[in-house]
Structure 1
Amino acid sequence: MRILTSSLRLSFGCWNYDRTRALMDRTVVPDGIDLVYLNMPVEETFFRMLRHKEFDIAEMSLSSYVMSHFTEAQPFVAIPVFPSRYFRHSSIYVNSGAGIRQPSDLAGKRVGSPEYQMTAPVWIRGILSDEYGVRVDDVTHYTGGEEQPNRPEKLPLDLPPYIRVKRIGPQQTLSTMIREGDIDALFTARKPSSYDGCHVKRLFEDFVQVERDYFRKTEIFPIMHTIVIRREIYEAHRWIAQSLYKAFAEAQARIYRDLEETAALKVMLPWLNAHVEEARRIMGDDYWSYGFKQNRQTLDTFLRYSYEQGLSKRRLEPEDIFVPETMENFVI
């Protein structure tokens, strides 16, 4: 597709997802925008955007974005596009000698997370509280690098005193600590390298069924990341919010069509069609939905968790965190 020479050139930090790939290879071009797609793993994108605001647009941890509303600058706005969603029951790991057989056994234990503010542990802590009665202050939280030492919180924490968060040592990693029994459990996004199914196990070994049951009960498919725009860029060019949203939606629609193709598999997964049919049967046709209205309940649940866990200073509403241009659409 031809890019007009008058297009606004904007940088975009994001990982290489199937649902955003058309933006990277420029088969989808946002109206009026020359998008420079910088393909990076999420940890790098988040760090560079939160610490240095290096990009005009970026994929962003939902939790860190929410926390940024309580900084003086409030440097970002967001559109309701969600490049990462993930059921996180599978992301609770336990040391097999810690005596943790069911969620209630986590009470009184030492629980690691790479960052307390990380979106995946926020969801895990909230689900454990809502579904199993394990509150955020029932455990002691340990934070630091999962595979490399000295990972910091991307934004400073200011937690209530009843929430106990301790930094691990400068030479320690959470992956090693859970294997050695220096922590009892790990809430994280990436599977630790020490996971072997023996000394380090998942709390929910049958996590797929547990996650299906959770969705049937709650209708929540947890949102991990959203798309943010630097506030000064948005305020100077408010039209870009809709241009970007439309382009992300079109890039995603192409993948929906690819995943339903039966002449040949476009993804190297032997039973892809069965997975797609099952997802549609349980979650509906738009099982990875973008947009505000259809995700309001999920967003409201996350915002409650952020407040209950001491990350948000007040209880935000979903309407507080997205630009108004993406709240509604025109009708002919």
Structure 2
Amino acid sequence: MKLVVGRDDLAAAALGAGTEAGAHVERQDIKPVHKASRGFVNDQAVDVCELAVVTLLQAVAHGKPVVLLPVTTLGRTQHQTLVTMGALTVADVEGRSVGVRSWSQTTGVWLRGFLTEQYGVDLRKADWTVYEPGHVDGYQDPSWVRRAPEGARLQSDFLEGRLDFGVMGNELPADDRIRTAIPDALDVAKRWTAERGFLPLNHVVGVTEQAAAENSAAVLAMYDAMREVAAKDPGGTNPAGFEALRGPVALAARYAREQDVLVRPVEFDELVERSCAALGVTPARLGG
């Protein structure tokens, strides 16, 4: 089996457990890890793959033969990802230009969800520009979202003043002029997490239906090993198990549907049923 997991400790745990369970497991070195997503969801180029939450949801909505293995590999706050360089704040988003790497990027989905729920922003009243397509074949960006010209870069357009706001996580450039558009963003994010009872999640683990069916024992062993490692992370930043993921994944799915990222609703119980059917287990075996 081919494995793509970005974190070395999780990858080592999965590799060792899968091998011990009798499978031949090979880790693929793909960096950054999101570059493996397209091949995984569209062509099943690897068997077990770290991918963004929204990419997994889109894959299910489009009928791709991949299922959720409920392990979080990346969770973080998101309110700080809306940035600006002027005197603007989140109250000024409507009528202004906002750039985001991809409309289906999970960071953008979370941030836009906060804009609508917490700040009353009508997303269609902002001028949105995206720079990359989504990972899932068959998905089309909403008609009210503009694609940047070929060769344009989000960071350059933002730093050179062609965008009023940018939604950036790992892509955020180092520049002292940049500040968060949401005042006290990290404090707001901390309160949001406390009220919701979970942290926004970015990356989870997926597995192809074929690998789940043909190598169920090995995949389950990988799950157990990664869950044990994730449990040691401070503050529960990388929860594992269906019930631990239910809140954040269900909310991400709702936000994504409201933003025309999903072509149909994807309920969390559908993810549970698909995973259990592929692996031949009950939800309790995967923390549900």
**Shared fold (TM-score, shorter chain, > 0.5):** yes
SS at match of 1:84: strand
Aligned pairs for 1:104-115 (under 5 A) are 104-115=91-102
Note if contact 1:293-1:327 (Cα within 8 Å) is conserved in structure 2: no
Note if contact 2:100-2:168 (Cα within 8 Å) is conserved in structure 1: yes
SS at match of 1:152: coil
Paired position in structure 1 for 2:112: 125
Q: What is the alpha-carbon root mean square deviation over aligned residues?
A: 2.5
Match of 2:3 among 5, 8, 12: 12
Runs (4 or more) in structure 1 with deviation over 6 Å come to none
Note if contact 2:79-2:185 (Cα within 8 Å) is conserved in structure 1: yes
Is 1:152 matched with 2:152? no
For the residues of structure 2 that align with 1:135 and 1:30, how far apart are their CA atoms? Answer: 52
Aligned pairs for 1:214-229 (under 5 A) are 214-229=192-207
Provide Cα deviations, 1:231-275, integer angstroms capped at 9, x if missing partner.
Answer: 22223344444222112112334x44xxxxxxxxxxxxxxxxxxx
Aligned pairs for 1:160-309 (under 5 A) are 161=143, 164-193=144-173, 195-198=174-177, 200-204=178-182, 206-253=184-231, 255-256=232-233, 276=234, 279=235, 286-309=236-259
Report the count of equivalent residues: 279
Note if contact 2:76-2:202 (Cα within 8 Å) is conserved in structure 1: yes
For the residues of structure 2 that align with 1:329 and 1:152, how far apart are their CA atoms? Answer: 36
In structure 2, runs of 5+ residues without a counterpart are: none
Aligned pairs for 1:7-46 (under 5 A) are 10-23=1-14, 26=16, 31-40=21-30, 41-46=32-37
TM-score normalised by L of structure 2: 0.86
TM-score normalised by L of structure 1: 0.76
In structure 1, runs of 5+ residues without a counterpart are: 1-9, 145-150, 257-275, 280-285
Query: Percent of counterpart pairs with the same letter?
Result: 19
Note if contact 2:200-2:248 (Cα within 8 Å) is conserved in structure 1: yes
Provide Cα deviations, 1:10-42, integer angstroms capped at 9, x if missing partner.
Answer: 110121344444345x48856333321223322
Note if contact 1:122-1:305 (Cα within 8 Å) is conserved in structure 2: yes
Is 1:329 matched with 2:280? no
Note if contact 2:13-2:225 (Cα within 8 Å) is conserved in structure 1: no
Q: Cα distance, 1:306 vs. partner?
A: 1.2
Higher relative contact order (Cα pairs below 8 Å, separated by 6+ residues) = 2
Q: Cα distance, 1:326 vs. partner?
A: 6.3
Note if contact 1:28-1:251 (Cα within 8 Å) is conserved in structure 2: no
Is 1:93 matched with 2:83? yes
SS at match of 1:249: helix
For the residues of structure 1 that align with 2:230 and 2:19, how far apart are their CA atoms? Answer: 13
For the residues of structure 1 that align with 2:179 and 2:3, how far apart are their CA atoms? Answer: 37
SS at match of 1:39: coil
- Rg bigger for which structure? 1
Q: Cα distance, 1:318 vs. partner?
A: 0.6
* The 10-residue stretch of structure 1 (121-130 or 13-22) with the greater mean CA deviation from structure 2: 13-22
Note if contact 2:59-2:66 (Cα within 8 Å) is conserved in structure 1: yes
Q: In the superposition, relative to structure 1, how do residues 152 and 160 fare at CA in structure 2: closer, same or farther (>3 Å)?
A: closer
Match of 2:47 among 29, 38, 56: 56
Note if contact 1:111-1:186 (Cα within 8 Å) is conserved in structure 2: yes
Note if contact 2:242-2:283 (Cα within 8 Å) is conserved in structure 1: yes
More helix by share: 2
Note if contact 2:72-2:204 (Cα within 8 Å) is conserved in structure 1: yes
Q: Cα distance, 1:153 vs. partner?
A: 2.7
